[in-house]
Amino acid sequence: MELIYILPIIPIALIFAGIYFTFFAKKDQAREFVHQLFNEDDRSEQMKRLQQQHFILKKKRKDQSPFIQRLDMDLERANLMIKPNEFLMIGLGTAFLGFVIVFLLGKGIFFSVLGAIGGLLLPKLFLMVKIMLRMNKARRQFADVLDTLVSCFKSGYGFTRAVQVVSENFDDPWSTELGKVATEMNFGSTQEDALMGLAKRIPNADVALFVTAVLIQKETGGNLAELLTNLSKTIRERYKLLSKVSALSAQGKLSAVIVFLIPFGLAGTFTLIMPDMMAQFVKNPIGIALIVFACVMQLIGGLVLKKIVTLEV
CA angle 151, 154, 160 (to 5 degrees): 80
Residue 171 Cα to chain centre, angstroms: 17
Return the higher-pLDDT residue of 15 and 155: 155
Return the higher-pLDDT residue of 110 and 132: 132
pLDDT at 123: 92
Provide the percentage of residues in the chain whose pLDDT is more than 70: 78
Confidence of residue 10 (pLDDT cuts 50, 70, 90): low
pLDDT at 216 over 70: yes
pLDDT at 132 over 90: yes
pLDDT at 2 over 60: no
pLDDT at 17: 60
Tell me the per-residue pLDDT of 94-113, one tens digit each, with 9 for 90 and over. Answer: 998 888 888 888 877 878 88
pLDDT at 135 over 90: yes
pTM of the model: 0.68
pLDDT at 42: 46
Confidence of residue 43 (pLDDT cuts 50, 70, 90): very low
* Domains and their CATH numbers in the chain: 2-135 (no CATH), 141-234 (1.20.81), 249-309 (no CATH)
Task: Find the mean pLDDT for residues 22-47.
Answer: 50
pLDDT at 21: 56
- Looking at every residue in the chain, the average pLDDT score rounds to 79
Tell me the per-residue pLDDT of 269-305, one tens digit each, with 9 for 90 and over. Answer: 888 888 888 888 878 888 888 888 888 888 888 788 7
Return the higher-pLDDT residue of 187 and 12: 187
Tell me the per-residue pLDDT of 227-278, one tens digit each, with 9 for 90 and over. Answer: 889 988 988 888 888 878 777 777 777 877 888 888 888 888 888 888 888 8
Task: Find the mean pLDDT for residues 153-182.
Answer: 89
